[in-house]
Chain A
Amino acid sequence: MPLYEKENFLEEVLRLIRFPFDREEIRAELENHITDRTNYYKEQGYNQESAAGLAVKNMGEAKEIGRALNKQHNPVLGWLWLVTNGLAFILAILVILNLAIPFLSSLLSLNGIDKIPASDIIYQIDANEKVRLDDTVIRFTEVVYDKDGDLNIYYKYYDTRLWGLGWSLPGIGSISDNLGNQYLTGGSSGNGGVISRNRQVIPDFAAAADTLIIDYDSYNRKYRVEIPLQEGDENEQTK
């Protein structure tokens, strides 16, 4: 019976609250109060039934409380609040997606660039040369010489400033070899994102060359990278 009384009381209060989304919270708050008061009376020696009955009685008139609470939970303001919050939430999600997608895709697509089939590779060198241009770090990771005579230079670059997102490197510099040959740089491909992975193709690279030289000199920024090729003793990984 007391349980029924408590439920009765809560139902009667909540029926008067017109804004549905606040009902659950109000219910929990009032119910906690009744439970606390019931426990208090039980500690005073009352049995569960009378303790619960007294606790509900102490609350007062359900209609009066419900009406007063309803005044504080204005449905118009409540809906307005919900709608503006909803819009803000959607906006936040859009902003997050906008930022996160390029970042995630650049992390996930480790090889956004074409891999050369193993059967076409004449030799492959793992390089680890790092250079810096202002805030951009360029790392040459791999050099692959294929059977068409193309030298493929793989490199990554990223901006050390977070907001450098999306800026792309115009080119890695002029390419030559230890035999004195200068090469025209062919097409380069890469994926964007925070860490950009790229491949620079040098067509008709001299098969006999044993050092690849990359010279960058523009706008007063310079670097020179020499990567030992198939004759080199350390990095050699002839296939």
Chain B
Amino acid sequence: MAEVKSMQIDKGLLGGSTTLLLLSLLSESDRYGYEIIRELEQRSDQTFQFKEGTLYPVLHKLENSGYVKSYLAKGDTGKERKYYRITKNGVQQLAEEKKKWEVFSVSVNKVLDGEVHAFV
């Protein structure tokens, strides 16, 4: 685990895959910023840890692009928070990003595997 922690990705946020990850989480349910961060942390076994404040410019950008819509609501704790909900456009964008990611990861794996595993 300590090994993994030392590998924490310390980019502003996770580069090109940010939109994919955020839209994917929001396609499951509406969430507020801190929930998104916690979810990313837990699912990635803390690999995805980053400067949490940088999440918000990204969320606001997604909202400006029309992929998500924000609204204020009181959650289970009774505290008012800004929730984000994926829009129809966002769902379309998510499908595209997923496709891109698949092409990308298949290509990376091909390079890594080289000719040795080409027939496996």
A231 at the interface (CB under 8 A from B): no
Asked whether A64 lies within 8 Å of B56 as measured between CB atoms, the reply is no
B69 at the interface (CB under 8 A from A): no
**B34-72 interface code vs A (CB 8 A; 1 in, 0 out):** 100110000000000011111011001101100000000
Asked whether B60 lies within 8 Å of A69 as measured between CB atoms, the reply is yes
Asked whether A33 lies within 8 Å of B57 as measured between CB atoms, the reply is no
Classify the interface of chain A: helix, strand, loop or mixed.
helix
Are A37 and B52 CB-contacts (below 8 A) given A71-B57, A72-B61, A73-B60?
A: yes
Are A69 and B82 CB-contacts (below 8 A) given A32-B34, A37-B52, A58-B51?
A: no
| Complex Cα spacing A28 to B56, Å | 12
**Could you say which residues of chain B place their CB within 8 Å of the CB of A43?**
none
| Complex Cα spacing A68 to B61, Å | 9
How many inter-chain contacts with C-beta < 8 Å in the A-B complex? 61
| Complex Cα spacing A68 to B55, Å | 10
| Complex Cα spacing A28 to B33, Å | 12
Asked whether B33 lies within 8 Å of A65 as measured between CB atoms, the reply is no
A61 at the interface (CB under 8 A from B): yes
Asked whether B51 lies within 8 Å of A60 as measured between CB atoms, the reply is yes
A30 at the interface (CB under 8 A from B): yes
Beyond the given pairs A32-B79, A37-B34, 7 more chain A to chain B contacts, judged by CB atoms under 8 angstroms and listed by A's residue number, are A28-B82, A29-B81, A30-B56, A64-B54, A65-B53, A65-B57, A72-B60
Are A59 and B57 CB-contacts (below 8 A) given A29-B82, A37-B34?
A: no
**Could you say which residues of chain B place their CB within 8 Å of the CB of A30?**
53, 56
Interchain CB contact (< 8 A) of A58 among B32, B52, B64:
B52
**Could you say which residues of chain B place their CB within 8 Å of the CB of A40?**
38
**Could you say which residues of chain B place their CB within 8 Å of the CB of A26?**
56
| Contact residues of A between 45 and 64, Cβ < 8 Å to B | 58-62, 64
**Could you say which residues of chain B place their CB within 8 Å of the CB of A73?**
60
CB distance from B59 to the nearest CB of A (A): 9
**Could you say which residues of chain A place their CB within 8 Å of the CB of B52?**
33, 37, 58-60
